[in-house]
Structure 1
């Protein structure tokens, strides 16, 4: 089993008087994570799977008296797929307010459902964590850098979902199944989705545009939808942990692009499955964009693991000057350019360096990506 970096962090928050919420897409390992935590408490744990109809019924609009009778003398209560329970936020609030000395951990496959119904009831009563697909940082705890390098291309092509990593002989079948059977499960149950086929078409368009600025107007025209609907769908896809957005960085140059944004996938295996392309990198015209997506996604995971307060951007001007990726931490900037081949000549924009004087600049390629992803510190 792959050791998840979140586990010791979550365990350090146990029994501090707050509900623990774990968000994440389906199949990223939320159930495995909480059951790993469960092992430390033996018979003192109650596991409630909300995919089961009777469990949902028990937890729906339950009174504190009923909850106490359910949990008995258990100390750790695990509520899996909590978004399936109506008014789960109020139920969790009762746990927090009325049942002391009990720790509740609730998982949810989609933040757009769970967060909407728990935020107000649990104000000041919760710790929130996001579990992503496995990171290279997590893999580096059990693999050497040599082994990671050997597996790099496979990880870029087939992604970082736990089952894909643990069953390499079935990787293509499994990533297709995850994409087909699980990817849309939560999204399509969302009441605002009237044309589910348009969501799939939108994802395929986004998959074809990674590394490029995305125009909502162009997407709307292609899909025969209005711009507001496209914006809503993209917001839902982001809250379901399928994609994430980078906004443009802009401070003082008139030529800076300010209205476009870039959209990437949390997992490049999902992206490749959407476009049905599992070719090796040397046979792919999208190799550079795929490498860029993979690195930015891995950096996002790293920042989540480190609980780093980071703002992330890209930068481009109307004269086609650009920076692939920018991080801002406490007002200090770092600028990164990505190229898969160390032989390809690339440099950080002199215009950007002159105007913003970043604290760090780096050209990231396949020979030094371990520094960018802090793999040398393990």
Structure 2
């Protein structure tokens, strides 16, 4: 098993909460992680029709086997579980007693927040962060890394990424969409999915996206909502303070796995990616995804933003550090140019004295300070704990 950064967060949360929940996209490693971290607990998969039938026919008898706790995999498959657990943990509030895993879009989060509010430590496991990939001892170029993405199976088994992603889309994404939205025309949905991949790193214009996909605005919104709740895409909101400026109000859309985005765009080799017009957007997609993974792995909300105003000032990524603002500029080129430095220097001007020295994350390998900009090579983006580097204050 590849060591996961979220394990430390799970150990921390199970000291305080009687129930721990792990959500995330399919095949991100939720079951493997839960069974490894909580190896001393009984494990039951509610995908198993026999176990699920037992639970539904005789809930008291089913749960009597797990009075001391258990890992319930795909917990949303038995919605009544959450109400039963509420009574059990209220009667005996032992920390770390129950662990739930499942897919958010099928009601795990709704069940947890409705019945287990205040009793559950919520976590989200995304595909591998770059620091976690280091455990595989694979030395990848930046283009090979973008193409492969972070799904654990692609780093532990000799699978062909093109075959794996093809089956992933057909077996999980399309099946999930059918179950949640009852989509009949999968060809139209596939086109919508590819159009979303082509817009990764761009402002989300839902009307234009719907028009190009040939669907209504409401359908596009519903489909996008499922992709977001499935942790396949992430909507990066604009920073909420305007500093007296007129701001762009639309979010930016990002895929949370660059490999999946590459596959949807028809990119099948590092050589093709190196020359592809979407390479810059895909590199930005990966960087933003690394920040999201870093926050989630530490049990924190994303709290990430971007900035763009009508005067041309922009920052690809913005987050708060105390009372200050950290601006981040992202460039995919491997050579640090004067234009890159100027863009980095400009990225924090909107915030004036509240901005910390800007970061410039680029596709090269060197990291250093230059002209008031903290230059960060792509290999140095993540630290050993999987979190993005923190600014000096």
Residues 347, 358 of structure 2: 8 Å contact kept: no
Please state how far the C-alpha of 1:288 moved relative to its aligned partner: 0.7
* Corresponding residue pairs, total: 366
What do residues 220-277 of structure 1 show as CA deviations (whole Å, max 9, x unaligned)? 222333323322221221111110001122513444322x221001101111122221
Summarize the Cα distance change of 1:139–1:197 in structure 2 as closer, same or farther, 3 Å threshold: same
Deviation at 1:312, TM superposition (A): 1.3
- Alignment match of 2:103 (pick from 103, 109, 116): 109
Q: How does 1:118-133 map to 2 (within 5 A)?
A: 118-133=112-127
Matched, 1:324 2:316: yes
Q: What does residue 30 of structure 2 align with? A: 30
Instruction: After TM superposition, give the deviation of residue 80 of structure 1 in Å.
Output: 0.5
1:170 aligned onto 2:160 = yes
Instruction: Describe the shift of the 1:282–1:5 C-alpha distance in structure 2 as closer, same or farther (beyond 3 A).
Output: same
Distance 2:251 2:93 in 1: 46
User: Can you give the 5+ residue segments of structure 1 that lack an aligned partner in the other structure?
Assistant: none
The answer to whether residue 359 in structure 2 is matched with residue 369 in structure 1 is: no
**Within 5 A, what are the aligned runs for 1:200-215?**
200-215=190-205
Q: Is the 8 A contact 1:158 1:172 kept in 2?
A: no
Question: 38, 46, 54: which one pairs with 2:42?
Answer: 46
Where structure 2 has 5 or more consecutive residues not aligned to the other structure, the ranges are 366-376, 388-393
* 1:121/1:62 CA distance change after superposition, 3 Å: farther
Structure 2 Cα separation of the partners of residues 377 and 97 of structure 1:
35
The alpha carbon displacement at 1:324 in A equals 1.4
Deviation at 1:92, TM superposition (A): 2.6
Deviations 1:131-188 (A, max 9, x none): 1101112234565xxx65x343322112100001112452332222222212233332
Q: Point out the more displaced range, 312-321 or 348-357.
A: 348-357
TM-score by length of 2: 0.84
Q: Which moved more, 1:21-30 or 1:199-208?
A: 199-208
Structure 1 residue aligned with 2:78: 85
The correspondence of residues 181-260 of structure 1 with structure 2, limited to 5 A, is: 181-191=171-181, 193=183, 196-249=186-239, 250-258=241-249, 260=250
Residue aligned with 1:248, SS: coil
Choose the corresponding residue for 1:97, options 85, 90, 95: 90
SS state of the match for residue 14, structure 2? coil
Give the whole-Å Cα distance in 1 for the aligned partners of 2:322 and 2:35.
37
Secondary structure of the residue aligned to 2:43 is strand
Contact 2:313 2:346 in 1 (8 A): no
Q: Is 1:339 the equivalent of 2:323?
A: no
SS at match of 1:244: strand
Whether 1:137 and 2:131 are equivalent positions in the alignment is: yes
Q: Aligned-pair distance for 1:283?
A: 2.3
Task: Tell me how far apart the structure 2 counterparts of residues 123 and 291 of structure 1 sit (CA, whole Å).
Answer: 38
Distance 2:225 2:123 in 1: 19
Pairing partner for 1:350 from 321, 346, 352 = 346
| Structure 1 residues 152 and 199: alpha-carbon distance in aligned structure 2, compared to 1, 3 A threshold | same
**Alpha-carbon RMSD:** 2.7
8 Å CA contact 1:27–1:161 kept in 2: the answer is yes
Determine the C-alpha separation between the residues in 2 that align with 1:56 and 1:376.
Answer: 37
Distance 1:12-1:323 versus aligned 2 partners, 3 A rule: closer
Alpha carbons of structure 1 residues 377 and 175: separation in structure 2 relative to 1, 3 Å:
closer
- Please give the alpha-carbon distance, in whole angstroms, between the structure 2 residues aligned to 1:119 and 1:251: 33
Query: Structure 1 230/305 Cα, relative in aligned 2: closer, same or farther at 3 Å?
Result: same
3-state SS of 1:307 partner? coil
CA contact (8 A) 1:245 1:261 kept: yes
Query: Counterpart of 2:61?
Result: 66
**Match of 1:9?**
9
